[in-house]
Structure 1
Amino acid sequence: MSDCLINENDMARYVRKTLKEYFKDLDGEEPCCDMYDMVIACVEKPLLEMVLEHVGGNQTRTAEMLGINRNTLRKKMLQHGIA
């Protein structure tokens, strides 16, 4: 049994579907920005928000759950405008 509660296939399928729609909406135009950063930002902010909510705003527990340093968490929170 996997330790991962998120079904990776479902997550990958959702990302593929969303990107396919994004490219369709571009209608032949080139993307205006760095796509990697755009996708990471779209996923990272709600991830941080939901984990913070789950642990009642405890940044130390959030960082532990995400497997990142607390200072890294604080930096990412500032980047995304999360108080």
Structure 2
Amino acid sequence: MHSTHASPSISGSYAVVKTQKTEPLREAVRDALDRYFEQLDGTAPNDLYQLVMQQVEQPLFEAILGFTGGNQSKAATLLGISRSTLRKKLAQYEIE
């Protein structure tokens, strides 16, 4: 059973809530990879790291832009990356 106790902290001017409930995303990735390996039926995977990163990054950027109302400066700050890096990633995934 996961605890949902949250302890707030401040990062820059944005409130960040750290929780002890960090497992759901990790478990979802593991479950998805287990299903992927089962579907391979013994065939060796190719470029697995790149595949996983593409599957995780795009929805991450879409969600954070939705959260910030499309404000790329806020999105970059919340992600802990430069605005330039964010823009490169948005172009890579063709996200406007």
TM-score by length of 2: 0.78
Specify whether residues 39 and 7 from structure 1 end up closer, same or farther in structure 2 by C-alpha distance, changes over 3 A only. Answer: farther
Q: 1:36 aligns with which of 49, 52, 64?
A: 49
Is residue 95 of structure 2 the alignment partner of residue 82 of structure 1?
A: yes
Greater Rg over alpha carbons, structure: 2
Distance in 2, Cα, partners of 1:37 & 1:5: 28
What value does the CA root-mean-square deviation take over the aligned residues?
1.6
Give unpaired runs (5+ residues) of structure 1. none
Distance 1:4 1:38, change over 3 A: farther
Unaligned residue ranges in structure 2 (runs of 5+): 1-5, 8-16
Q: Which has the higher helix share?
A: 1
Higher relative contact order (CA 8 A, sep 6+): 1
Aligned-residue identity in percent = 43
Q: How much does 1:17 deviate?
A: 0.6
1:25-48 C-alpha deviation (Å, 9 max, x unpaired): 0111111x3111110110100000
What is the CA–CA distance in structure 2 between the aligned matches of 1:72 and 1:28, rounded to whole Å?
37
Task: Give the Cα separation in 2 of the matches to 1:6 and 1:56.
Answer: 27
Q: How many residues align?
A: 82
CA distance in 2, matches of 1:37, 1:6: 28
Q: Distance in 1 between matches of 2:23 and 2:85?
A: 28
Task: Say which structure is richer in strand.
Answer: 2
**Distance across 2 between alignment mates of 1:6 and 1:63:** 24
